[in-house]
Amino acid sequence: MGSIDRRRFFLNTGLTAAGLAAAYQTVGMVVKSGGEKLDVSNWNSVRQQFGVSPEYIHLSSFFLASHPAPVREAIEAQRRGLDANPFLYIESQGPGPLFVEKSVAEYVGGKPEEVALTDSTTMGLALIYHGLPLKAGQEILTTAHDHYSHHESARLAAERAGATVRKIKLFDDFNSISEDEIVSRVRKAIATKTRVVGVTWVHSSSGLKLPLRSIAAAIAEVNRGRSESDRIIMVVDGVHGIGVEDETIAEIGTDFFAAGTHKWIFGPRGTGFIWAKADNWQMMRPVIPSFSGGAYGAWMTGQELKGMRAQWMTPGGFHSFEHRWALPAAFDFHKQMGRQRVAERVHTLNDQAKEALAKMPNVTLYTPRGSKLSAGLICFDVKGMRPQAVVAKMLEKKVIASTSPYGISYARIAPSLLNTPEEIDATLGYIRAL
C-alpha cells in the first residue's frame, strides 16, 4: 500500500495516531538498501559473495540466480521484521512509496513513476500484452525466435481482442546473421494492420542479441507516417540483456520493456519489472487490481481513478515481500561493481569460449562471435551427439550446462561473474574431448 492508503487503512481499523506512533517504535526500522561497501575490487572477491557449490563449474546461473551475500542479508532482514510482527511491519514500517521502483529506475535510466513491479518476465509480458489497446483486425508482429512466454502472452491477448499474431524469421542461416538483415526484415514485415512489434533482446534459443536501437529507429520512421492512435508499439523481453549489457534501457527507444531480475541482475527470486515512459502508460489498462499508487485508497473513499499510472499495473495482493523489498540490494551490488566493468567481464569470458568452440572441428557454434550480436549465452552442437547427451557428459565432469528449451534445442553454456578463465578453459577441454 502507498502511504495514503496505509493511513486510511489504519483509520478504518480504529488505530489512532498515538497507536500508529507506538507501532513505529515497536517494529524497528526497515532495511532500505544493501548500503554496505563490498569488496568488489577483483572478480574472485565478487565470486565469494555467492553461495554456489564450489565443486561445480556453474555455467547455467542465468536460469535462476544464486543470491549474492548482500541480497541474502537484505532478504533475511526483511524476513525477521515480517516474522516478528507481520501486521505492523507491513502496515506501519514497510518501505515508502516507490522505494523499490527508485532502484529499478536508477538502473534503467528512467523515473520511479515509470516502473511497475512484477514477479517475472512472464508476468510482465502478460500484463503488457493484455493491457494494450488492441482492437479486432489489428496485428501483433513477433519473431519465430522468441520464448514460449512471449508467444503465449501475445497469442492470448490477440485472441481476446480479435487481433492476430504473425511471426517472422530474422535470419535463414546462423552464418549469415547481420544487423542490417535483422532490421530490414522487421521493417519489411510491418503491415498496415501491425499495431505491436514484440522482440526479445537476447534469444535464449541461440544467444543472438538483437540491435534494439536500430530496430526502434526503424519503427520510429514508420510511425512518422501514422496517427498516434495507430502508431506501432515496441515491446521488449529484456531479461537476458539486463545485467549483462552496458546499456541505458530508457534511451533505447522501446515503448515497453519487461524483465525478471532473478537472473543476470542476481535479484531475489520471484522479482521483476516493467518499464515504460509515462506517456506510454496512458494507453494501458490494468489487468489485476493494484494496491499501489493510491488505487486502493480511491476505492475506499469512492473516488474515480483518472488517467493511468505505472503503479496501477503492479499486481496487488500479498507477495513475497521480503524478496521484493530486498531487490534494491541487487541493484546496489551491480552499482558497486560498475555496469561497464560487468559487461566487459561477461563478454571477455564469452569471447574466450566462443573463439575456442568455433575452432573445434566437431562443434557447430550458433551464437554470433564478438559482442555486437551476442551477450552472455552460447549455443552449440557436438556432431553425433544429442544436446541432452552433451549436457549429461559435462555434468559427469561437474560442469553444469543446459539445453535450450525450444522445439529445436542446442547445448548451452553461459559464462558469467561466477566463473574464471580457468574454468572456461577446463570446460572447453571437456567439450573438445567429446
- Are 241 and 268 part of one and the same domain? yes
Low-confidence ranges of the chain (pLDDT < 70): 1-37, 93-96
Please indicate, yes or no, if residue 65 is contained in any of the structural domains. Answer: no
Burial of 212 (0-12, 13-18, 19+ CB in 10 A): buried
Largest Cα–Cα separation, the chain: 76
Q: Which of 409, 386, 390, 408 is nearest to 400 (CA)?
A: 390
Q: Please say which residue of 285, 302, 336 terminates a domain.
A: 336
Q: Number of folded domains in the chain?
A: 2
The reply to whether 60 falls in a domain is: no
Whichever domain contains 265, its CATH number is: 3.40.640.10
Q: What is the per-residue pLDDT for 165?
A: 98
> Distance (Å, rounded) from C-alpha 199 to C-alpha 391?
28
Same domain? 174 vs 231: yes
Determine, yes or no, domain membership for 48: no
- Distance, in Å, from the CA atom of 71 to the CA atom of 389, rounded to the nearest integer, reads 35
Answer yes or no: are the C-beta atoms of 135 and 157 closer than 8 Å: no
- The domain boundary, picked from 302, 336, 370, lies at 336
R_g (Cα) of the chain, nearest Å: 23
Same domain, 296 and 361: no
- Indicate whether 109 and 179 sit together in one domain: yes
Judge if 379 and 239 occupy the same domain: no
Does residue 31 sit within a domain? no
Answer whether residue 372 is part of any domain. yes
- The answer to whether residues 209 and 172 touch, using CB atoms and an 8 Å cutoff, is no
| Strands 139-143 and 164-168, sheet pairing | parallel
The whole-number pLDDT of residue 14 equals 38
Q: Identify the pLDDT of residue 38.
A: 76
Cell of 203: 534469444
CB 372, CB 179: distance < 8 Å: yes
Q: 174 with 139: CB under 8 angstroms?
A: no
Indicate whether 327 and 388 sit together in one domain.
no
Same domain, 113 and 258: yes
Residue type, 83: D
Q: Are residues 207 and 303 in the same domain?
A: yes
The partner residues of 365 in beta bridges, in order of sequence, read 380
Q: What is the CATH number of the domain that holds 356?
A: 3.90.1150.10
Find the angle CA(237)-CA(239)-CA(244) to the nearest 5 degrees: 130
Return the beta strands (E) in 279-395 as ranges: 363-365, 378-382
The confidence score (pLDDT) of residue 40 equals 87
pLDDT at 39: 82
Compute the residue count for the chain.
Answer: 434
Answer yes or no: are the C-beta atoms of 154 and 142 closer than 8 Å. yes
Q: Is residue 371 part of a domain?
A: yes
Nine cell digits for residue 111? 523515473
For residue 419, the model assigns a pLDDT of 98
The pLDDT of residue 90 is 85
Torsion angle of C-alpha atoms 260, 264, 265, 271, degrees rounded to 10:
20
Query: Cα–Cα distance between 64 and 123 in angstroms, integer?
Result: 16
Do 187 and 233 lie in a common domain? yes
Distance CA 390, CA 246 (A): 32
C-alpha to C-alpha distance for 232 and 134, rounded to whole angstroms = 11
Strands 233-237, 256-260: parallel, antiparallel or unpaired by DSSP? parallel
Same domain, 226 and 104: yes
Statement to judge: residues 303 and 373 lie in one domain = no
**Structural domain that includes position 234:** 99-336
- In this structure, the answer to whether residues 327 and 355 fall within a common structural domain is no
245 falls within a domain: yes
Asked if residue 203 belongs to a domain, the reply is yes
Q: Which of 336, 364, 384 is the last residue of a domain?
A: 336
